[in-house]
Amino acid sequence: MNTDNQEIARLEEALDTLTGLPSCLADPSEEGLHEVLEEVSRRLQDNLPYPHPLYAGQMMKAPHRIARLAYMLALWTNPNNHSHEGGRASTAMEKEAVAALAAMFNWQTHIGHLCSGGTIANLEALWIAAKLRPGTGVLASAAAHYSHRRACELLQLDFHAVATDARGTMDLVNLERHLADGRTGTVVVTLGTTALGALDPLPAILALREQYDFRVHVDAAYGGYFTLVGELPVEARACFDALAQVDSITIDPHKHGLQPYGCGCVLFRDPALAPLYHHQAPYAYFTTDALHLGEISLECSRPGATAVALWATQRLLPLVRGGRFSRDLARSLQAAAALYAHLDTDPRFLTLTQPQLDIVVWAPRGVCASSISARSHALFEATAAAGLHLALVSLPAGLLQEYWREVEFDTPTVTCLRSCLMKPEHADWLERICCILDSVADAATV
């Protein structure tokens, strides 16, 4: 029996325990069902091999088997985690799963919930910040996720992008220049930028908070789980250890947390913020006097299956340093460091700073920015043809000039290659990845 069949067999065993289902949910003989599923299977073949270690492009990581099984199992009852009435078991599991995430950041108290992803989580964090600091603006790194600017547009908040330094992290001198006018209510700190995986200097920003009095929201949608890795560089360790002092955090379990899309989470350190969400829904909140998740969320209907899958994954793989989950995260960091070392010693490539997380960015060597961009596109196509799937990223010339002093920057941006080595298996496949890069490197001779 292959692995997939074993997985389905385990699901069937679990379904036998799930009693009380109406017969319509247990009837597999509906006319046309098999044919439609076969068509779906054929359509889904038009995909890149996202779960495979030779896919190292976008931020895509296959959900763990336990997450898939628990999610599917929950779909048989299809709970809605808007209220206790809509998902009695799954709302309890969500609260437990979210509490485990908060504990990962050493928070003794918290309030929070799951949502569809980092975009909604960031929107909600800034919405609460605006209620607490009315009439003030928001600062975020120029490398921060675009959802922050969009959220500020929706909330009609003044937004300013803070310039970055040569590592792609928030520049502290530029940040303090913005803070000096006294109109900033919230600073967004990114731990794991989407382009470079860079970490904004959180400890130094918290020190500035003492002087300028602003809220700190951390967008750790990508990098948050790396707090569990014991052996981090000193600077990275200091950033993650400082998370206990921030006001709110976004984290995406559907990135490094082994969950299906969409599973994001927003956390606030102060549970007294709950009244800021208050709204009336007497038709929804009537089975208990305890706080319903819908009462602390911008979203209304939310899939209980998401909470069940996350709860089950954390039950199997606890969020502790030194555990199996954290060891797999460490392997991704090791793979990124090894890939960077390989590229940095190859004269055919240009590299940037060493990766802070598991994202590596580089480019084929060229005499000018335009030729580097063209060669990056050529190499992107050549690696894909050889079975290795990377991504492209456009970076400002100002960021790259610090590293590529011999290059003529005849364009304001340069297209580079980018790989997210999110899967622990990337460490096992790194030799194969490097062999493919070596074999096609000469294809970038535009």
Residue 342: give its domain's CATH number: 3.90.1150.10
Residue 82 confidence (pLDDT): 86
Domain identity same for 376 and 232: no
Residue 285 confidence (pLDDT): 42
What total of structural domains would you count in the chain? 2
In a domain, 54, yes or no: no
Contact partners, residue 83, CB within 8 Å, separation at least 6: 91, 281, 284, 285, 287, 292, 293, 294
**Average confidence score pLDDT of the chain:** 92
Residue 222: give its domain's CATH number: 3.40.640.10
**Domain termination site, one of 255, 289, 316:** 316
Q: What is the C-alpha separation between 427 and 358, in angstroms, rounded?
A: 11
Give the pTM: 0.93
**Beta partners for 139?**
160, 187
User: How many other C-beta atoms lie within 10 A of the C-beta of residue 361?
Assistant: 24
Residue 30 confidence (pLDDT): 73
Question: Whose CA is closest to 69, among 248, 276, 350, 315?
Answer: 315
Domain identity same for 300 and 406: no
Residue 308 confidence (pLDDT): 98
User: Hey, what amino acid is at 226?
Assistant: F
Residue 380's domain spans which residues? 324-443
Mean pLDDT of 293-309: 89
Please give the full DSSP string across 30-94, using - where no structure is assigned. -TTHHHHHHHHHHHHTSS--TTSTTB-SSS--PPPHHHHHHHHHHHTT--BTTSTTT-HHHHHHH
Give the model confidence (pLDDT) of 252-291 as tens digits.
999 999 999 999 999 999 999 988 876 554 444 434 446 6
In a domain, 270, yes or no: yes
Residue 87, pLDDT above cutoff 50? yes
- pLDDT band at 446; cut points 50, 70, 90: very low
Domain identity same for 226 and 366: no
Q: What is the C-alpha separation between 229 and 310, in angstroms, rounded?
A: 20
Radius of gyration of the chain (CA): 23
Residue 10 confidence (pLDDT): 83
Domain identity same for 133 and 269: yes
Please give the full DSSP string across 242-264, using - where no structure is assigned. GGGG-SEEEE-TTTTT---S--E
**Domain termination site, one of 259, 283, 316:** 316
In a domain, 207, yes or no: yes
3-state secondary structure of 327: helix
Domain identity same for 219 and 108: yes
Residue 420 confidence (pLDDT): 97
Residue 26 confidence (pLDDT): 53
- 394: DSSP letter: E
Domain identity same for 353 and 299: no
Residue 284 confidence (pLDDT): 43
CB of 249 within 8 A of CB of 224? yes
Pick from 22-31, 81-90, 213-222, 430-439: least confident: 22-31
Task: Give the helix/strand (H/E) hosting 383.
Answer: helix 369-385
Q: What is the C-alpha separation between 204 and 223, in angstroms, rounded?
A: 18
Give the model confidence (pLDDT) of 178-223 as tens digits.
999 999 999 999 999 999 999 999 999 999 999 999 999 999 999 9
Domain identity same for 376 and 345: yes
**Domain termination site, one of 289, 316, 343:** 316
Residue 418, pLDDT above cutoff 80? yes
Mean pLDDT of 235-240: 97
Residue 153 confidence (pLDDT): 97
Which residue has better confidence, 28 or 378? 378
Residue 76, pLDDT above cutoff 50? yes
